[in-house]
Amino acid sequence: MTQLWDYVHGPGRNEIQVWAKKQKLGVRERAQLNQKIDMLERVGFEVAYHLEFLAGTSGEFNHVFKLVVKSQRMLRPMLCRGPADPHREVTFLCGAIEKDFSLLPANAAEQAEERRQRLIAGLGRRIAHERF
C-alpha cells in the first residue's frame, strides 16, 4: 500500500486542502477525487501510471505528476513520488484544473516542483493525507 502525504506551507496550512476549498468542489467531485486517491493508495504508483490515471508533466518538471480525475471539471492534483521513500509514498504538492489541455494555474507544475525541491532540501513539511 502506498503512503499518502500532503504538502504543508507555513503553520499547518495543508495546500491541497486549501486548493479544494478554493475550488468549491461539489459532493460528486470530492467523491470522484477521493475514489482516485483511494485507488492510488491501494494499487501504488507504478500500476496507477500504467492504468493511466496518473500522467507525467513535460520538460524540466519530469518528477511531477498529475492525478487524472475526470469530473465536471478536469481535476489535476499535482504530486511526486516520495521524496523520502519514492517506492512507498506519494506527496500531493498542489492542485490544478485542466482546461483546453492547459493547466490552471498555468504555473502549477512549476509550483509543484518548487515544493518538491523544498521537501528534498528539508525546508518543506508534509502531513498524512487528509480526505476531501
R_g of the chain computed on alpha carbons: 13
pLDDT at 59 over 80: no
d(CA 9, CA 15): 7
- What pLDDT shows up at residue 57? 82
pLDDT in tens, 113-125: 999 999 999 999 9
Mean pLDDT of the chain: 95
What mean pLDDT is predicted for residues 40-63?
A: 92
pLDDT in tens, 9-28: 988 899 999 999 999 999 99
pTM over 0.85: yes
Beta-carbon count within 10 A of 11 CB: 6
Helix boundaries (H) for the chain: 15-23, 27-43, 45-50, 108-120
pLDDT at 106 over 90: yes
- What pLDDT shows up at residue 12? 81
